[in-house]
A and B are shown apart, each in its own frame.
Chain A
Amino acid sequence: MTDATALLREPWERFERQQRAGKFGIWIFLASETLFFGALMLTYAVCRVEHPDAFAAAGRATNIWFGTINTAILLTSSLTIAVASQAAAQSERSRTLVLTCLGLTAALGFAFIVVKGFEYKEDIDKHLVPGAGFALSEAAAQLFYGLYWLVTGVHAIHLTIGIVLVVRLIVLGATRRIRLRENPEIEVTALYWHLVDIVWIFLYPLIYLPGRAS
């Protein structure tokens, strides 16, 4: 921990301690986020138990290709940011690798949003927005789509915040205004990014798979 003093902040005396606190703090925040998305998924579960057939019909109306492509994109982005985080923590000459991986992560995150945008457009064209002129006949299918718009929207907002955080690291790192090596902010950002991914791993089967078996 030679040059790490540049990263030391109030009120910490030792850098290792500060690093651990940063990680610890983000884990606590992620616990909070889990409850945030957990409440949404609980709402979904209650509605689905009450209206299993409508949810199956609504699930069949989603476009599984968009969902599957996005799952692949997001999981790959988790890999790239994990590489960035590990490279920043360990290697001496890894600055380029860190920046490249962070860049890939931001690009993949952006790609997810773009794909999601196309999906939203298709949903609107197919009248899958709850309200007058809704495409499906089952009344409770509107519930599914109400939650669909809400939960994917909230997820996209989280992802956008993640992209902003990653781009911030790239800009500050590339212009050498922050030190990338051993910087706890990279791992903290990565942990947040992984949470956004894990939420999607739960959302994928909840949104795209109902009604598709058999």
Chain B
Amino acid sequence: MSDVVLAGELPFPPRPDYLRAGSTLASWLTTTDHKRIAILYALTITVFFFMGGAAITAVRLELFVPNGWFLSSDTYNRLFSFHGIIMVWFFLVPSIPNTFGNFLMPLMIGAPDVAFPRLNLFSWYLTLVGGVFAVYTLIAGGVDTGWTFYTPFSTMFSNTHVLTAAAAVFVVGFASIATGVNFIATTHMLRAPGMTWFRLPLFVWSIYATSIVMVLSTPVLAISLMLVVAERWLGLPIFDPARGGDPILFQHLFWFYSHPAVYIMVLPAMGVVSEIIPCFARRRLFGYDFMVYAIIAIAGIGFFVWGHHMFVSGQSPYASLIFSFLSFVIAVPSAIKVFNWTASLYRGQISFNSPMLYALGFVGLFTTGGLSGLFLASIPVDVHVTDTYFVVAHFHYIMVGGSVSAFFGALHFWWPKITGKMYPESWAQFAAITMYFGFNMTFLPQFFAGYLGMPRRYHTYPAEFQVYNVMSSAGAAVLAAAYLLPLMYLTWSLLHGKRAPNNPWGATGLEWTTTSPPPPNNFDIQPLVDRGPYQYHAERESAGTDAPEVQNARSLR
């Protein structure tokens, strides 16, 4: 409390924090507090994460042997489709933005809440409705189109529950749009006095850029799914080539969303890492301005690379050429970010706390995933490895190695702030390291299997690929254990953990100036900002080991 109170002022009267401000179920289900809504989202996506995880566990078990041993091919198809749909739209897209973004963004900019608190709650309910459709799809028998819903299979040939699956994604898409609108308006309208654009923490920048991508790309996904439903359910000809329609058009519409969606999933992760690395290196972030420009460049160029998913779909070779070029171009800002994170470590005082382990893991895995992405941007190589496990390995390095690592990094970094409890550090470090090794064990072999020609989504495979699949499945078991560990020790910490101080890591950032957990209105006194983020040491000096001078909250009078 002492760093919040100016000399001469009396301590504040006791007031409940946001967790204890109301204890009934109704006080949670009708809350408009962004912090509580973040918790609601966190619980929801945790459930979905383990549902999607269970589906893929069955798939990996099945792939231990070349010809399968306990699943029918139909069930196999439905399991990987369910895994994809759940993990993309019900875990990865809402993961960091809707939990940490919701919780932290207002705190980081010194605001009492998001711009439209009721819309925020509405968005959570939309996510639930979408989730109900998704779970219904599973119970009713599943969907076997893969997460991509390609026509004409999805419109004409699939005998599974395409309709409800599409409805699930359609509805959750509008939750995404609502959240995006809210975050953009919040960033523009609710920054604390002195919080200029170039004093925003990079996490806020990344959430802001992500929101723009959400708002502009998700409606196109909604339309593409609506067209599938219209053709399948109402019999309107849209993509049916027999009636003059164009099935490739669906792929264009779908990837116009789904490629930017990759950046919806990874930009917030980059934001998280940009917060963690300076803190545990006790270092100013290297090249803040360029980090901002890189975020904006990624969000912008991300809209113009979708054609690299369609090099073998029969699009014009000239279009492919341009998409290939732009896909190389987008690697530049991503590389700038990787170099800047690395440079931030230089002459730092690095400590390997669990959030830092996750962040460093992110940098390595994201780099691997990104560089393999360059292989795929190159048309000749892509033609060779299209629809193989090389692609699967590539995007899992970005989505799981990158985004999920960063999600766990954020979970550990801000856990004391969110819950007011410290977790057992050794367990957390153990889980972080296990996760890193489990991940590489699962997905590194898939690069080799894919390069040698093993196609994705197939139930059976030639015996020569078995060694890669056994390694991959064994790794998946390690990975599963590593995901279950935090569930246990974090739950334990809620009951038995030590009380967290306001700023356990000695981090900069407004969220650390308020209490842990924060009060319902975030700040007892309106913060006033007079410097940029990440001022861990004086300019042009090396990192010290002492705690930085944190931004003071001041009275506005």
Q: Is the CB of B112 within 8 A of A50?
A: no
The reply to whether the CB of A142 lies closer than 8 angstroms to some CB of chain B is: yes
In Å, the complex CA distance between A42 and B115 comes to 33
Q: Is the CB of B177 within 8 A of A25?
A: no
Q: Is the CB of B216 within 8 A of A31?
A: yes
Residues of B within 8 A of A145 (CB): 236
What's the nearest-Cβ distance from chain B to residue A176, in Å? Answer: 22
Residues of B within 8 A of A154 (CB): 226
In Å, the complex CA distance between A33 and B230 comes to 19
In Å, the complex CA distance between A50 and B239 comes to 13
Indicate with 1 or 0, residue by residue over A134-177, a CB within 8 angstroms of chain B CB atoms.
Answer: 00000110110111011000100000000000000000000000
The reply to whether the CB of B113 lies closer than 8 angstroms to some CB of chain A is: yes
What's the nearest-Cβ distance from chain B to residue A30, in Å? Answer: 10
Q: Is the CB of B189 within 8 A of A150?
A: no
Given A11-B112, A25-B116, A28-B181, also A35-B245 (CB < 8 A): no
The reply to whether the CB of A178 lies closer than 8 angstroms to some CB of chain B is: no
Residues of B within 8 A of A130 (CB): 235-237, 243
In Å, the complex CA distance between A32 and B222 comes to 11
The reply to whether the CB of B503 lies closer than 8 angstroms to some CB of chain A is: no
The reply to whether the CB of B253 lies closer than 8 angstroms to some CB of chain A is: yes
| Residue from B222, B235, B249 in contact with A43 in the complex, judged by beta carbons closer than 8 Å | B249
| Residue from B181, B220, B253 in contact with A29 in the complex, judged by beta carbons closer than 8 Å | B181
The reply to whether the CB of B540 lies closer than 8 angstroms to some CB of chain A is: no
| Residue from B190, B216, B217, B224 in contact with A11 in the complex, judged by beta carbons closer than 8 Å | B190
In Å, the complex CA distance between A87 and B506 comes to 54
Given A39-B224, A43-B227, A150-B230, also A10-B113 (CB < 8 A): yes
The reply to whether the CB of B219 lies closer than 8 angstroms to some CB of chain A is: yes
Can you name the residue of chain A whose Cβ is closest to the Cβ of B114? A11
Q: Is the CB of B117 within 8 A of A51?
A: no
Q: Is the CB of B253 within 8 A of A50?
A: no
What's the nearest-Cβ distance from chain B to residue A191, in Å? Answer: 13
The reply to whether the CB of A21 lies closer than 8 angstroms to some CB of chain B is: yes
Residues of B within 8 A of A43 (CB): 223, 227, 238, 249, 253
Between A11, A17, A43, A46, the greatest number of chain B beta carbons within 10 A of the residue's beta carbon is seen for: A11
The dominant DSSP class at the B interface is: helix
In Å, the complex CA distance between A137 and B111 comes to 62
In Å, the complex CA distance between A130 and B238 comes to 10
Q: Is the CB of A146 within 8 A of B115?
A: no
Indicate with 1 or 0, residue by residue over A67-104, a CB within 8 angstroms of chain B CB atoms.
Answer: 00000000000000000000000000000000000000
What's the nearest-Cβ distance from chain A to residue B319, in Å? Answer: 13
The reply to whether the CB of B57 lies closer than 8 angstroms to some CB of chain A is: no
Q: Is the CB of B244 within 8 A of A28?
A: no
Total cross-chain contacts (CB, 8 A): 111
Q: How large is the interface on B (under 10, 10 to 19, 20 to 34, 35 or more residues)?
A: 35 or more
Between A131, A143, A146, the greatest number of chain B beta carbons within 10 A of the residue's beta carbon is seen for: A146
Can you name the residue of chain A whose Cβ is closest to the Cβ of B106? A11
Residues of B within 8 A of A21 (CB): 115-116, 185, 188-190
The reply to whether the CB of A199 lies closer than 8 angstroms to some CB of chain B is: no
Q: Is the CB of A47 within 8 A of B223?
A: no
What's the nearest-Cβ distance from chain A to residue B300, in Å? Answer: 14
Total residues of chain A contacting the partner, CB 8 A: 36
Q: Is the CB of A147 within 8 A of B238?
A: yes
The reply to whether the CB of A24 lies closer than 8 angstroms to some CB of chain B is: yes
Given A50-B246, A150-B227, also A28-B32 (CB < 8 A): no
| Residue from A17, A29, A33, A131 in contact with B235 in the complex, judged by beta carbons closer than 8 Å | A131
The reply to whether the CB of B184 lies closer than 8 angstroms to some CB of chain A is: yes
In Å, the complex CA distance between A146 and B232 comes to 12
What's the nearest-Cβ distance from chain B to residue A123, in Å? Answer: 13
The reply to whether the CB of B182 lies closer than 8 angstroms to some CB of chain A is: yes
Can you name the residue of chain A whose Cβ is closest to the Cβ of B224? A39
Residues of B within 8 A of A20 (CB): 189
In Å, the complex CA distance between A143 and B247 comes to 13
Indicate with 1 or 0, residue by residue over A36-78, a CB within 8 angstroms of chain B CB atoms.
Answer: 1011101100110011001000000000000000000000000
In Å, the complex CA distance between A142 and B218 comes to 28
What's the nearest-Cβ distance from chain A to residue B44, in Å? Answer: 23
What's the nearest-Cβ distance from chain B to residue A61, in Å? Answer: 16
In Å, the complex CA distance between A11 and B115 comes to 7
Q: Is the CB of A150 within 8 A of B236?
A: yes
Residues of A within 8 A of B226 (CB): 150, 154
In Å, the complex CA distance between A15 and B188 comes to 16
Can you name the residue of chain B whose Cβ is closest to the Cβ of A145? B236
Indicate with 1 or 0, residue by residue over B398-417, a CB within 8 angstroms of chain A CB atoms.
Answer: 00000000000000000000
The reply to whether the CB of B338 lies closer than 8 angstroms to some CB of chain A is: no
Between A20, A25, A154, the greatest number of chain B beta carbons within 10 A of the residue's beta carbon is seen for: A25
Residues of B within 8 A of A33 (CB): 219
Residues of B within 8 A of A142 (CB): 237, 243-244
In Å, the complex CA distance between A140 and B219 comes to 26
| Residue from A24, A39, A42, A143 in contact with B237 in the complex, judged by beta carbons closer than 8 Å | A143
Q: Is the CB of B181 within 8 A of A25?
A: yes
In Å, the complex CA distance between A145 and B245 comes to 12
The reply to whether the CB of B215 lies closer than 8 angstroms to some CB of chain A is: yes
Given A20-B189, A24-B189, A130-B236, also A146-B113 (CB < 8 A): no
Indicate with 1 or 0, residue by residue over B101-119, a CB within 8 angstroms of chain A CB atoms.
Answer: 0000010000111111100
Q: Is the CB of B243 within 8 A of A139?
A: yes
Q: Is the CB of A10 within 8 A of B222?
A: no
What are 5 sample pairs from A and B whose C-beta atoms fall under 8 A apart? Answer: A11-B111, A25-B116, A35-B217, A47-B244, A140-B243
Instruction: List 8 additional contacts besides A40-B223, A43-B227, A147-B238; criterion CB under 8 Å.
Output: A10-B32, A10-B117, A20-B189, A25-B116, A25-B184, A43-B253, A143-B238, A149-B234
